[in-house]
Structure 1
Amino acid sequence: MSSPPDDLTAARAGIGARRENGSRRDGKGRRRGGRGGGERKMVPDAVFTSYYGRPVVKASPWEADIPAYLFLGGLAAGSSLLAAGAELTGLASLRRTGRLGATVGIGLSFAALVHDLGRPERFVNMLRVAKHTSPMSVGTWILTGYGPLAGLAGAAEIAAMFTGVPAPLRRVLTAAARPAGWAAGLAAPAVASYTAVLLSDTATPSWHEAHRELPFVFVGSAAAASGGLGLIGATLADAGPARRLAVGGAVLELLAEHLMEPSMGLAAEPLHRGTAGRLMRTSKTLTVVGAVAAAVGHRNRVVSALAGLSLLAGSACTRFGIFHAGQESARDPKYTVVPQRERLDARES
């Protein structure tokens, strides 16, 4: 039996011979190099993979509470904006609808968030710090400031609806509702858009890759939903601003989605597949139908109400569709690995 040094020498000689033969001849015995072509590949092209096929990033633990929280928060924000404008222009039914919609929307949004957190004190614990670089911290403080303002304006409308409320209390609430409603209207754009920043700041591929257009999608969706609610609750004479907001929001949402998908690259695939794909297709259909009905049905109370319902449902489908697309992109490792390798190849080239 030969000694280890002899084995090592033989192995080196064999490797050298294989390299020489591989560089000089192809599989048919023809010489490689020169005018005959480049060197034959000895290693196949790599394909995307992960350890045992497991996800590279962890899908968020959020349940259905979170897309409901996203939708209801946007609805509340747009309703506050409509109510503030109606207060300035003297449109009583639209003001009442907007204030009540904002109060109910933000209340249910808080409830969905707290239910997802598990315990109410966890939300309170987030108020211990204020970190401007954290979308979660900024969003917590935005909600904390906006919620009481919207609730106070809504309480004044509720007090006006019931004769059993003492007159002094009704007068106090009415006097406080005007500045509270205006302040809530000023905070509305931040409430409608910060959730998009919250999602796109994560490592979830389909959320992160949509960071340029997603705030516009959410703002447009919130405007369409709140405009739809105004069409349902306000009289035809007072519903003009709600109609214009609904149509404008629908156009913004659809246009932003159209621009968002090409910019997302491979991460846009989950928006067209499975549950997310069905929700996004339904959202586009409902939003288009609702916007058209709102534009042409300005003289018909029933058509206006149906348009409002369609816009509300379309906005909800948008939030749930984007949520499910993000979760699906986190579970499939290719949406993380392939874009990373494409960026590496682009830098090397």
Structure 2
Amino acid sequence: MGRRRGKGRGESIVPDAEFRSYYGRQIIKTPTWKVPDVPAYLFLGGLAGASATMAALADLTGRPRLRGAGRLAAAAGAGASVIALIHDLGRPARFLHMLRVFKPTSPLSVGSWILAPFSGVAAAAAASEVTGLLPGLGRLSGLVSGLVAPAMTTYTAVLLADTAVPGWHEVHRELPFVFAGSAVSTAGGLALLSVPVGEAGPARRMAVAGAVLELGAEELMLRDAGLVAEAYRTGTPGAVLRAAKALTCVAAVATAVAGRDRRVAAVAGLCLGVAGAATRYGIFEAGRVSARDPKYTVVPQRERLARTESE
């Protein structure tokens, strides 16, 4: 990068040059996590956590159909999330090795210790729901999974943001809220597919509230992301996230206006499920795009350095 100067007083006659990388090479390594394993892991874990919270609240307020739907979704989501993670790791033993120690400073270690016990208690609650056996134990398991659920819903966002990938690290403040909102709306949408409309009032409210949180947090995230927002707005990630946003908006409005209509509720629930999966994939892909282009690593670093020097 160079700058030509005038002959008289050494004044610049051209604007600042755009960033160019050293020999055009990447600065950080692109994540090797597989598709669809990791996006599915992100999506299913969030769905499981939000569904467990819904099931626990439904149990406490006397809504058995909603409780059952939430317990089954939590167990199925957590189990499938573990399978997706193990498939990405390559061997089940690698997941078990992560449980050998608990390291509070490692989001991966903390996440493993959230995922494993949550999956166990969610499965116990679902088994009791299906068989009718040990209802007391089933209720206790459901309540415990509901308490662990907020961490289950958001820890994957912390896991991504703790990496050096600029597309994730630069949005570390807002990303957990995006994941939480998406998970809540998806869990509510899934319940709309399976619960009678007369008992689905809390699910409708979850769907709308989660959509509002997700869309608001995503807008704030992109507004404050600086240059990195470009990775979220262009190419494949941009197209996927725009589609997810459109589906979420349409489904939330339909649920709020005509959610008591069974057909509307079913379509809205399906749209929210597709939107939740698309949101996770779009965010995952935006991170990979940002890792491949060195400008997303270097320019934010220079901007932070300039701000520090000016203070």
Structures share a fold, TM > 0.5?
Answer: yes
Residue 246, structure 1, aligned to residue 195, structure 2 = no
Using the alignment, how far apart are the partners of 2:74 and 2:114 within structure 1? 15
For residue 137 of structure 1, give the secondary structure of its aligned residue in structure 2: helix
Partner of 1:54: 25
Using the alignment, how far apart are the partners of 2:50 and 2:192 within structure 1? 13
2:26 corresponds to which letter in structure 1? Answer: P
* Alignment counterpart, residue 79 of structure 1, candidates 51, 54, 57: 51
RMSD over aligned Cα atoms: 1.9
Partner of 1:287: 248
Give CA-to-partner distance per residue, 1:110-133, whole Å, 9 cap, x none: 000000000000011011111111
Using the alignment, how far apart are the partners of 1:45 and 1:228 within structure 2? 49
For residue 129 of structure 1, give the secondary structure of its aligned residue in structure 2: coil
Matches within 5 A, 1:1-349: 27=7, 32=8, 38-40=9-11, 47-64=18-35, 65-160=37-132, 170=133, 172=134, 174-349=135-310
Between 121-130 and 42-51, the greater mean CA deviation after superposition: 42-51
Larger Rg: 1
Shift of 1:262: 1.4
2:117 corresponds to which letter in structure 1? Answer: G
2:94 corresponds to which letter in structure 1? Answer: R
1:49 corresponds to which letter in structure 2? Answer: R
Give CA-to-partner distance per residue, 1:61-118, whole Å, 9 cap, x none: 0112111100000111111111111111111111111011111111110000000000
Using the alignment, how far apart are the partners of 1:140 and 1:299 within structure 2? 39
Shift of 1:232: 0.8
1:103 corresponds to which letter in structure 2? Answer: A
1:57 corresponds to which letter in structure 2? Answer: I
Contact kept? 1:49, 1:337, Cα under 8 Å: no
With the length of structure 1 as denominator, give the TM-score of the two structures. 0.84
2:10 corresponds to which letter in structure 1? Answer: E
Using the alignment, how far apart are the partners of 2:216 and 2:17 within structure 1? 37
1:274 corresponds to which letter in structure 2? Answer: G
Partner of 1:164: none
Using the alignment, how far apart are the partners of 1:348 and 1:93 within structure 2? 59
Give CA-to-partner distance per residue, 1:307-340, whole Å, 9 cap, x none: 1111111111110000000000000111111222
1:122 corresponds to which letter in structure 2? Answer: R
2:40 corresponds to which letter in structure 1? Answer: A
Using the alignment, how far apart are the partners of 2:273 and 2:221 within structure 1? 22
Shift of 1:348: 3.7
2:33 corresponds to which letter in structure 1? Answer: W
Shift of 1:347: 3.3
For residue 237 of structure 1, give the secondary structure of its aligned residue in structure 2: helix
Number of residue-to-residue matches in the alignment:
306
Shift of 1:42: 11
For residue 131 of structure 1, give the secondary structure of its aligned residue in structure 2: coil
Give the percent of matched residue pairs that are identical in Structure 1 and Structure 2: 56
Give CA-to-partner distance per residue, 1:115-160, whole Å, 9 cap, x none: 0000000011011111111100100001111110000011112224
Using the alignment, how far apart are the partners of 1:343 and 1:116 within structure 2? 35
